[in-house]
Amino acid sequence: MRRLDRNVSVEDFRQLARRRLPKSVFEFVDGGAGQELTLLDNRAGFERIRLLPRVLTDVSRPDLTTTLWSKTYPTPLVISPMGSCALVRPGADVAIATAAAARGIPYTLSTMATTGIGRMARAVQGPLWFQLYVLKDFDFNRRLVRQAEEFGYSALVVTVDLQTGGKREKDLRNGISIPLRPSPRHLIEGIAHPGWSLRLLRDGFPQFENVRGYLGDTSAGLTIAARVGRNLHAGFDWNDFRTIRDWWKGPLIVKGVLHPGDAAGLIAEGADGIWVSNHGGRQLDGAVSSIDAITTVRDAVGGRVPILIDSAIRTGMDVIKAKARGAAVAAIGRAALFGAVEGRAGVERVLDVLLDEIATGLKLCGVPSFQQVGSDLISPALAG
């Protein structure tokens, strides 16, 4: 068994994934839209922030708990919704979810997951959220939401920043699609990565389990983004949101918000949480970074509902910086998927690295509790 403890950062796991996966698959996971301007600025936004720590405080027992809707969670992490995880490793969705559940971390199942709503609920004993891509067929949307409710998912995450699929140039060049249709290039890459290939052949090519039969023709050779995009409801508007709000009685989080006016309007229409996200730089290239957008969203929200954030969170210090800017919790996607290259054990190692970094960061910042992190922790020259 490989010594996973030699991987001491998310970046170590990213480099491991680069070695273990075919180039086309790694670039699908790691890449972004267009020229990848937003993808790069997501990281740069975190790296620009400098902290102003305090001293002579008792930080001997750092408290990582956080509260959402009167419920206390042991960590400030959430797993972002991710489609196509099984391209990395068969069963990656369940591996990530079970590793998260063991740490009390909510797992968000994507509409485009390669594990179905029911199967995930049966496999995981922990907090589960369901993420809805609003598809053209509202009856189908309703069935998905009802199924999530029946299987005990505790929150609904409605994604609003995917009116169409973004142009991912690497995927277009690499020909990555689901169902995967191997080309000579893919076969050559597969031969160079026999472990990945054997697992895929043994377990079968992944499918979008929640939308089987809905996406139509599977022989068109479309990229994943394009195939999903042509089934999205580009006309999704405020009236449609009100309809979905009426469907769901529990906490409803809106994901993909960058504009403060949208955040305020969504709260007025019943949103219980605002998830600041630019889809990890995978959709609108040139969009503002999530960490830069959160300050005006925070001001618009005014503490009425919790704010979540994703996009390029790679370290525990990123999580602390996000809290200082106004996020109640931080969501990770790629970081967990990099770990999934080594199965559940790899995901566990990634999560433990991040949680240890958060605890160490709190100590070195002189803050005893994650919930006590505030804007005063950011150097005034960079406070937003």
Residues assigned a catalytic role = 279
* Residue 151 burial (C-beta neighbours within 10 Å; 0-12, 13-18, 19+): middle
Is the distance from CB of 3 to CB of 154 less than 8 angstroms? no
SS3 of 160-225: the string is: CCCCCCCCCHHHHHHCCCCCCCCCHHHHHHHHHCHHHHHHHHHHCCCCCHHHCCCCCCCCCCCCHH
User: What's the rounded Cα separation, in Å, for the pair 291 and 310?
Assistant: 8
- What 31-34 contacts at long range (C-beta under 8 Å, 24+ apart), as own/partner pairs, is 31/168, 31/170, 31/171, 31/282, 32/168, 32/280, 32/281, 32/282, 32/285, 33/166, 33/167, 33/168, 33/169, 33/281, 33/282, 33/283, 33/284, 33/285, 34/166, 34/167, 34/169, 34/285, 34/286
User: What letter does residue 144 receive in the DSSP assignment?
Assistant: H
Is the distance from CB of 337 to CB of 313 less than 8 angstroms? no
CA torsion sign for 12, 275, 64, 371 is positive
Query: How far is CA 124 from each of CA 10, 65, 97, 127, 264, rounded to the nearest angstrom?
Result: 24, 21, 7, 8, 34
* Residue at token pair 């019943």: 270
E-assigned strand segments in 69-195: 71-73, 77-79, 107-109, 128-133, 155-159
Q: Tokens standing for 104? A: 């009390």
Widest pairwise Cα distance in the chain: 64
